[in-house]
Protein backbone atom coordinates (compact mmCIF):
# COMPACT_ATOMS: atom_id res chain seq x y z
CA UNK A 1 0.00 0.00 0.00
CA UNK A 2 1.14 3.53 -0.79
CA UNK A 3 2.28 5.51 2.24
CA UNK A 4 3.02 9.16 1.49
CA UNK A 5 4.77 11.57 3.85
CA UNK A 6 3.98 15.28 3.47
CA UNK A 7 6.43 17.92 4.63
CA UNK A 8 5.44 21.53 5.28
CA UNK A 9 8.92 23.07 5.34
CA UNK A 10 9.32 26.36 7.19
CA UNK A 11 12.23 28.38 8.51
CA UNK A 12 11.25 27.82 12.17
CA UNK A 13 9.15 24.63 12.12
CA UNK A 14 8.53 21.67 9.84
CA UNK A 15 5.12 20.03 9.83
CA UNK A 16 4.57 16.43 8.79
CA UNK A 17 1.58 14.33 7.82
CA UNK A 18 1.11 10.85 6.40
CA UNK A 19 -1.46 9.14 4.23
CA UNK A 20 -2.03 5.43 4.07
CA UNK A 21 -4.26 4.91 1.09
CA UNK A 22 -6.72 7.79 0.76
CA UNK A 23 -6.72 9.38 4.21
CA UNK A 24 -4.18 11.97 5.35
CA UNK A 25 -3.51 12.58 9.03
CA UNK A 26 -1.24 15.10 10.75
CA UNK A 27 1.86 13.75 12.49
CA UNK A 28 4.47 15.91 14.19
CA UNK A 29 5.89 19.40 14.03
CA UNK A 30 9.68 19.56 14.40
CA UNK A 31 11.74 22.62 15.24
CA UNK A 32 13.85 23.36 12.17
CA UNK A 33 17.32 23.02 13.75
CA UNK A 34 20.22 22.11 11.49
CA UNK A 35 19.51 20.66 8.06
CA UNK A 36 21.44 17.51 8.99
CA UNK A 37 19.39 16.84 12.13
CA UNK A 38 16.15 17.65 10.30
CA UNK A 39 16.95 15.24 7.46
CA UNK A 40 17.86 12.53 9.98
CA UNK A 41 14.53 12.99 11.81
CA UNK A 42 12.56 12.93 8.57
CA UNK A 43 14.32 9.81 7.31
CA UNK A 44 13.70 8.09 10.66
CA UNK A 45 10.03 9.04 10.33
CA UNK A 46 9.99 7.56 6.82
CA UNK A 47 11.28 4.26 8.20
CA UNK A 48 8.89 4.30 11.16
CA UNK A 49 5.84 5.00 8.96
CA UNK A 50 7.03 2.75 6.08
CA UNK A 51 6.83 5.65 3.64
CA UNK A 52 6.89 4.90 -0.10
CA UNK A 53 7.02 8.52 -1.38
CA UNK A 54 7.38 12.07 -0.09
CA UNK A 55 5.55 15.25 -1.08
CA UNK A 56 6.96 18.63 -0.06
CA UNK A 57 4.66 21.65 -0.01
CA UNK A 58 5.73 24.37 -2.44
CA UNK A 59 4.60 27.80 -1.17
CA UNK A 60 3.41 29.62 -4.28
CA UNK A 61 2.04 33.15 -4.29
CA UNK A 62 -1.68 33.77 -4.93
CA UNK A 63 -0.90 34.46 -8.61
CA UNK A 64 1.02 31.17 -8.95
CA UNK A 65 4.48 32.74 -9.02
CA UNK A 66 7.34 31.61 -6.82
CA UNK A 67 8.81 33.83 -4.14
CA UNK A 68 11.89 33.57 -1.96
CA UNK A 69 10.47 30.82 0.29
CA UNK A 70 9.66 28.65 -2.76
CA UNK A 71 13.34 28.83 -3.76
CA UNK A 72 14.34 27.75 -0.25
CA UNK A 73 11.86 24.84 -0.35
CA UNK A 74 13.16 23.70 -3.75
CA UNK A 75 16.69 23.63 -2.31
CA UNK A 76 15.49 21.61 0.68
CA UNK A 77 13.65 19.13 -1.56
CA UNK A 78 16.78 18.64 -3.67
CA UNK A 79 18.85 18.01 -0.51
CA UNK A 80 16.24 15.52 0.66
CA UNK A 81 16.43 13.76 -2.71
CA UNK A 82 20.19 13.40 -2.20
CA UNK A 83 19.60 11.44 1.03
CA UNK A 84 16.92 8.92 0.02
CA UNK A 85 15.85 6.69 -2.85
CA UNK A 86 12.19 7.52 -2.23
CA UNK A 87 10.37 9.48 -4.92
CA UNK A 88 10.00 13.12 -3.92
CA UNK A 89 7.45 15.55 -5.33
CA UNK A 90 6.67 19.24 -4.94
CA UNK A 91 3.00 20.19 -4.55
CA UNK A 92 1.36 23.62 -4.49
CA UNK A 93 0.51 24.25 -0.84
CA UNK A 94 -1.04 27.69 -1.40
CA UNK A 95 -3.69 28.38 1.24
CA UNK A 96 -3.04 25.28 3.36
CA UNK A 97 -1.82 27.22 6.41
CA UNK A 98 -4.81 29.56 6.31
CA UNK A 99 -7.20 26.60 5.93
CA UNK A 100 -5.48 24.81 8.82
CA UNK A 101 -5.81 27.90 11.00
CA UNK A 102 -9.51 28.23 10.18
CA UNK A 103 -10.05 24.54 10.93
CA UNK A 104 -8.29 24.81 14.29
CA UNK A 105 -10.13 27.97 15.33
CA UNK A 106 -13.36 26.17 14.57
CA UNK A 107 -12.23 23.34 16.84
CA UNK A 108 -11.85 25.82 19.75
CA UNK A 109 -8.20 25.06 20.39
CA UNK A 110 -6.06 27.41 22.44
CA UNK A 111 -3.67 29.69 20.60
CA UNK A 112 -0.69 27.69 21.91
CA UNK A 113 -2.21 24.36 20.80
CA UNK A 114 -2.97 25.82 17.37
CA UNK A 115 0.59 27.06 16.95
CA UNK A 116 2.03 23.67 17.97
CA UNK A 117 -0.03 21.66 15.44
CA UNK A 118 -0.64 24.19 12.66
CA UNK A 119 2.16 23.04 10.34
CA UNK A 120 1.21 19.35 10.67
CA UNK A 121 -2.43 20.11 9.89
CA UNK A 122 -1.39 22.25 6.91
CA UNK A 123 0.72 19.31 5.68
CA UNK A 124 -2.27 16.98 6.07
CA UNK A 125 -4.48 19.35 4.08
CA UNK A 126 -2.18 19.61 1.06
CA UNK A 127 -1.39 15.89 1.31
CA UNK A 128 -5.10 15.06 1.14
CA UNK A 129 -5.35 17.15 -2.03
CA UNK A 130 -2.26 15.42 -3.49
CA UNK A 131 -3.76 11.98 -2.77
CA UNK A 132 -7.22 12.85 -4.11
CA UNK A 133 -5.67 14.13 -7.34
CA UNK A 134 -3.32 11.12 -7.59
CA UNK A 135 -0.40 13.54 -7.66
CA UNK A 136 -1.42 14.86 -11.09
CA UNK A 137 0.35 18.18 -11.51
CA UNK A 138 3.07 17.42 -8.96
CA UNK A 139 6.67 18.15 -9.88
CA UNK A 140 9.18 15.33 -9.37
CA UNK A 141 12.40 16.28 -7.57
CA UNK A 142 15.69 14.59 -8.42
CA UNK A 143 19.11 14.63 -6.74
CA UNK A 144 21.44 17.32 -8.13
CA UNK A 145 23.35 14.85 -10.29
CA UNK A 146 20.13 13.56 -11.90
CA UNK A 147 18.28 16.86 -12.45
CA UNK A 148 15.81 16.67 -15.33
CA UNK A 149 12.26 17.71 -16.13
CA UNK A 150 9.29 15.45 -16.74
Kindly report the pTM of this predicted structure.
Answer: 0.85
Q: What is the pLDDT of residue 100?
A: 43
CA distances from 94 to 22, 70, 100, 129 (A): 21, 11, 12, 11
CA distances from 71 to 44, 52, 109 (A): 25, 25, 33
pLDDT band, very low/low/confident/very high, at 104 (cuts 50, 70, 90) = very low
Domains and CATH numbers, the chain: 3-146 (3.30.420.140)
At 122-135, the pLDDT tens digits run 899 999 999 999 99
Task: Return the C-alpha torsion angle 105, 130, 17, 3, nearest 10.
Answer: 150
The whole-number average pLDDT for the span 72-94 is 94
Q: Which residue has the higher pLDDT, 144 or 135?
A: 135
Residue 14 pLDDT class (50, 70, 90 cuts): very high
Cα–Cα distances in Å, from 45 out to 16, 69, 144? 9, 24, 23
Across the range 38-66, mean pLDDT stands at 94
Q: How far apart are CA 19 and CA 124, in angstroms?
A: 8
DSSP string, 128-149: HHHHHTTTTT-EEE--GGG---
| pLDDT number for residue 1 | 84
CA 14 to CA 79: how far, in whole Å? 15
Question: Measured in Å, how far apart are the chain's first and last C-alpha atoms?
Answer: 25
Amino acid sequence: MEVTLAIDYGSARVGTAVSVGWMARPLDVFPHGSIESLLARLLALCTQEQVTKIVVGLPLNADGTEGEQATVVRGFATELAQTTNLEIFLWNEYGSSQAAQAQMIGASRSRKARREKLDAIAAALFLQEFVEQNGVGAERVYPKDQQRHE
